[in-house]
Structure 1
Amino acid sequence: MSEIETLFGVLRQSADEGVVDMLERMVREAPDHALNRMNALDLAANAGLDEERVVAGLLHAVQLGMAEMTWSVICPSCAGVLSANKSLKTLNSPHYHCAFCAAGYETTLDNLVEVTFTISPRVRKIAAHNPDELPLADYYRQIFWSSAIELPPDLETLLREVTLETFDLPPGERAILSLHVPEGTLIVFDPVTHTAQFLEIKGEETSERQNLSMIFNKAETPTEAITLRPGPLRLALDNRTDGRVLPAVWVANPALDALLTRRKPALTAKRLLTNQTFRDLYRTETLAIGQRLKILSLTFLFSDLRDSTGLYQHVGDLVAFDLVNEHFRLLQEIIASERGAIVKTIGDAVMATFETPDRAIAAAIRMREAMSELGAERQYQGLLLKMGIHEGSCLAVTLNGQQDYFGQTVNIASRVQGLAASRAIVVTEQVVEHSDTRTLLEAGGLTPTRRSVALSGIADKMSVYEIP
């Protein structure tokens, strides 16, 4: 048996069989580019597989050294990769700038950072393992553009429609391009160094040669537009890096606009951090000590067993211990199935995160029913959960050696849980007003009851809602 067959055999012990079959088939048959920066959500959609199972399978493959994970900062406008990182620890800039779009963005994990997977050379050698040898179109497809853009199969043909000239310039070399520039907006752009120069071509056409020089040295350069007239242009290119650059003269036309607006879902860092398999495998060492990464919207669910002290007194330590452990198992199973993850447990309490409020609500309703069924099965009707849910911004941090969250949103969610009594689920206004939450509650025939409360540490009273 070969090493690859052995690795896939080990992967089958922890990952979904359908996912392993898909990956094994791809390694045997797929073109090189399909195995580079794989989009987990796209793979799931094309194979008809569950997204969470595909994500989990890829994470286990990374653990076995069969794949590599990349955290890419992407431009929300052009979907270009601004920074590719092997770990969240190297995401240490508060802002990123896209030269191609002449725009800057605050670093957040919601939609600015995507996570992709590349097959390891240990499993199969692919062209992207040596990006300096990729042709221009393949470099754009596999290195510059993220997995969130829907690229056509024949990208090379489309690139010809949106570029006047391209050049492959080796390290330390210079070149001169002579071209005739038409009226309109042009962008001289290199995807390797992310260097860009905008050209506004307007006015009366000239026959005199115009001159422009560009230096590529990986230093961020201003992107103010230079005005030229239609006509001949002598473009001097100087590569001062230790690798090749791929400058091209782009034409801002409808074909380029259409290309840059083609999108498909991608796995975001925020979603991966709320994935239970990821938390199980990467509970520590996700972020550097002192590192803080912003998330604009994350939903927190806090749950606690009501009167757990009474439980131990009523049924005894051994039975109570088994009940509490089964309660944790059921909660983790439900939370994971709703695309959430348990961040930590504190005594009999659980802190969990979800990508969206409706997922947290769905989990809470199922958790409540699961506790009723468990209580009936074990003949203890007092097994009830107190639950609170809140949504808002927060910071992803490392606390006590593991990836955690910090901020007012976390504090409010915890205090809202303290308001819960009996079987009620208490949520904040942000949660209940979410469109998908309203749809979920209406479908279940649940009508939240509003009340105004004062929370410790919060200046103004808040509206909370009890879901019966």
Structure 2
Amino acid sequence: MSEIETLFGLLRQSADADVVDLFERMVREAPDHALNRMNALDLAREAKLDEERVIAGLLHGVQLGMLEMTWAVMCPSCAGVLSANKSLKTLTSPQYHCAFCAAGYDTSLDNLVEVTFTVSPRLRKIAAHNPDSLSVPEYYRQVFWSSAIDLPADLDKAMRELTLETVDLPPGERAILSLNVPEGTIIVFEPVTHTAQFLEVKGEEAAERQNLSLIFSKAETHVDAVSLRPGPLRLTLDNRTDGRVLPAVWVANQALDALLSRRKPALTAKRLLTNQTFRDLYRTDTLAIGQRLKILSLTFLFSDLKDSTQLYENVGDLVAFDLVNEHFRLLQEIIASERGAVVKTIGDAVMATFETPDRAIAAAIRMREAMSDLGAERQRQGLLLKMGIHEGSCLAVTLNGQQDYFGQTVNIASRVQGLAASRSIVVTEQVVENADARTLLEAGGLTPTRKSVALSGIADKVSVYEIP
């Protein structure tokens, strides 16, 4: 049996069979670019497979060395990759700047960081393993642009509609271009060093040839736009890096706008951190000690067994231990199925995260019913959960050796759970104001009851809602 057959055999032991079949077919038949920076959500959509199963399968593939995972900081405007990282641990800059868009962004894990998967050379060697072998259009497709942009199959043709010239310039070399620049905005962009020079072309047509020289180096520079007149231009490009550069002269026209507006969903770092398979596999190896990464919106659910101390006293340690373990199993199963993840357990309590509030509410409702069913099955009618949900910003951190979260949002979610009694689910105003959450509650015929409460450590009273 070959190494590849052995690896796929191991993958079948931990991943969904349909996902493994898809991956195996791709390794055998797909073009090179399809195996580079794979978009898990796009794969699931095209194959009509469950997204969470596809993500889990790819993660297990990474664990077996069949795939390589990339955490890419991407510009939300042009979808260009600003920084490609093999781990979140190297995501240390508080801000990232896109030269192409002339815009800067504070680092957050919500929509700025995507996670993609590339086939390992041990399974199949592809052109992207050696980026210097890629043509200019394929470099843009496979290296510069993120998986969130829906590029046309004939990218070469699309790029010809918006570029005046492209150059593949070896290290230490110089190129001299003779161009006729039209009125409007021209961008001389280089994707390897991610540098750009904007040319504002306006006024009467130049009678004599204009001259402009640009130097490409590894030093990060921010330069002002250059004013030119329409007409002939002599453009000198000097590569002072130790690798090739790929400068292109872009025209900011409708074709460029149309290309950059083609988008598709991508797997964000925030979503991956709320994936149960990821947490199980990377519980202690996600962030560096002391590293703090901002998340602008994350939903926290806290649950606790009501009167668990009394339960131990009534039924004894062995029976209670079995019940509590079964309760944990059911909760994790439901949380994972709603695209959430258990962050940790504290005694009989659970702390979980979800990408959006509606997923947390859906999980809470199912968890409540599951506990009622478990109580009835075990003749323990008093087996009830107290649950609280809150949404807001937080920091992803490492605490006690595992990936965790820190901030006021976490504190409020924990305190809101303490307000719950009996079968009620207590949520904050931010949660019920979410459009998808409102739709979910209306569809279930559930009308939350509002009340204003004081929470320990919070200066002002907080509006909370009890879901019956």
Common fold, TM-score beyond 0.5?
Answer: yes
Distance 2:179 2:433 in 1: 56
Deviation at 1:220?
Answer: 2.0
Matched residue, 1:106: 106
The separation in 1 between residues aligned to 2:132 and 2:399, in whole angstroms, is 40
User: Which residue does 2:71 correspond to in 1?
Assistant: 71
1:176-325 aligned within 5 A: 176-325=176-325
Tell me which residue corresponds to 1:341. Answer: 341
- Counterpart AA for 2:187: I
Can you list the C-alpha shifts for 1:140-181, whole angstroms capped at 9, x where unaligned? 000000000000000000100000000000012122111111
Identical residues among aligned pairs (%)? 87
**Alignment-mate amino acid for residue 66 of structure 1:** M
In 1: Cα distance, 2:264 partner to 2:78 partner: 13
Return 9-18 or 231-240, whichever deviates more: 231-240
| Corresponding residue SS for 1:221 | coil
How many angstroms apart in 1 are the aligned matches of 2:132 and 2:351?
45
The aligned amino acid for 1:258 is: A
Amino acid of the residue matched to residue 139 of structure 1? Answer: Y
- Give runs of ≥4 in structure 1 deviating > 2 Å: none
Quote the residue 2:124 is aligned against: 124
Q: 1:356 offset after TM fit, Å?
A: 0.1
Check the 8 A contact 1:195/1:218 in 2, yes or no. Answer: no
Distance 1:241 1:300 in 2: 47
Q: What SS class does the counterpart of residue 309 from structure 1 fall into? A: helix
Distance between the aligned counterparts of 2:237 and 2:152, measured in 1? 30
Offset from partner CA, 1:418-453 (integer Å, 9 cap, x none): 000000000000001100010000000000001100
Cα shift at 1:39: 0.1
**Aligned ranges 1:163-174 → 2 under 5 Å:** 163-174=163-174
CA RMSD of aligned residues (A): 0.6
Matched residue SS, 1:124: coil
- C-alpha distance in 1, partners of 2:312/2:172? 74
* Alpha-carbon distance in structure 1 between the residues aligned to 2:100 and 2:212: 18
Q: CA deviation at 1:4?
A: 0.5
1:328 aligned residue: 328
Asked if 1:418 is matched to 2:418, the reply is yes
1:1-38 superposed Cα distances (whole Å, 9 cap, x missing partner): 11101100100000000000000000000000000000
Aligned equivalents of 2:223, 2:78: Cα separation in 1 = 16
Using the alignment, how far apart are the partners of 1:159 and 1:297 within structure 2?
36
Q: Which amino acid aligns with 1:364?
A: A
Q: Distance in 1 between matches of 2:222 and 2:389?
A: 45
The question of whether the paired residues in 2 share the 8 Å contact of 1:102 and 1:223 is answered with no
Q: Which residue is equivalent to 1:17?
A: 17
Structure 1 gap ranges (5+) = none
- SS of the residue corresponding to residue 446 of structure 1 reads coil
Using the size of structure 2 for normalisation, the TM-score is 0.99
Give the distance between the partners of 2:294 and 2:223, measured in 1 at CA. Answer: 27
Q: Distance in 1 between matches of 2:272 and 2:206?
A: 55
Q: Which residue of 2 aligns with 1:445?
A: 445
Compute the displacement of 1:298 (Å). 0.1
Q: Which residue of 2 aligns with 1:391?
A: 391
Contact 1:194–1:218 (8 Å) recurs in 2: no
Distance 1:58 1:375 in 2: 37
Distance 2:23 2:175 in 1: 43
Please give the alpha-carbon distance, in whole angstroms, between the structure 1 residues aligned to 2:456 and 2:224. 50
Q: Is the 8 A contact 1:19 1:57 kept in 2?
A: yes
Q: How far is 1:240 from its partner?
A: 1.1
Q: Which runs of 5+ in 2 are unaligned?
A: none
Q: Post-superposition shift, 1:221?
A: 1.7
The one-letter code sitting in structure 1 at the alignment partner of 2:410 is V
State the Cα distance separating 1:244 from its structure 2 match.
0.3
Paired with 1:368 and 1:356, the residues of 2 have a C-alpha distance of: 19
What's the offset of the Cα at 1:232?
1.3
**Equivalent-residue separation in structure 2 for 1:229 and 1:222 (angstroms):** 22
SS at match of 2:161: helix
Deviation at 1:207, TM superposition (A): 2.6
TM-score relative to the length of structure 1: 0.99
Q: How many residue pairs are counted as aligned between the two chains? A: 468
Between the aligned partners of 1:123 and 1:366, the Cα distance in structure 2 is: 41
The residue type equivalent to 1:324 in the other structure is: V
Q: How many Å apart are 1:225 and its aligned residue? A: 1.2
Counterpart of 2:263, as a letter, is R
Could you say what secondary structure the match of 1:147 adopts?
coil
What SS is found at the alignment partner of 2:49? coil
On the 8 A contact 1:99/1:223 being kept in 2, the answer is no
Per the TM alignment, residue 218 of structure 1 is displaced from its structure 2 partner at its CA by 2.1
Q: Which position in structure 2 is the counterpart of 1:373? A: 373
Query: How many Å apart are 1:382 and its aligned residue?
Result: 1.1
> Shift of residue 314 of structure 1?
0.7
Deviations 1:318-360, CA, capped at 9 Å, x for gaps: 0000000000000000000000000000000000000000000
Counterpart position of 2:359: 359
- 2:48 is aligned to 48
Per the alignment, residue 6 of structure 2 pairs with: 6
Q: Partner of 1:153 in structure 2?
A: 153
| CA distance in 1 between partners of 2:392 and 2:81 (Å) | 27
Q: What letter is aligned with 2:132?
A: D
Which amino acid in the other structure matches residue 326 of structure 2? Answer: E
**For the residues of structure 1 that align with 2:218 and 2:269, how far apart are their CA atoms?**
26
2:93 and 2:275 mapped to 1: Cα distance?
A: 25
1:224 shift after superposition: 2.1
Partner in structure 1 of residue 435 of structure 2: 435
Q: How many Å apart are 1:246 and its aligned residue?
A: 0.0
CA deviations 1:188-210 (Å, max 9, x no partner) are 00000001000011111113111
The alpha-carbon deviation at position 398 of structure 1 amounts to 0.4
Distance between the aligned counterparts of 2:456 and 2:172, measured in 1? 63
> Is the 1:452–1:461 contact (alpha carbons within 8 Å) kept by the matching residues of 2?
yes
Deviations 1:191-249 (A, max 9, x none): 00001000011111113111111111122222421100111111111111111000000
- What amino acid maps onto 1:127 in structure 2? A
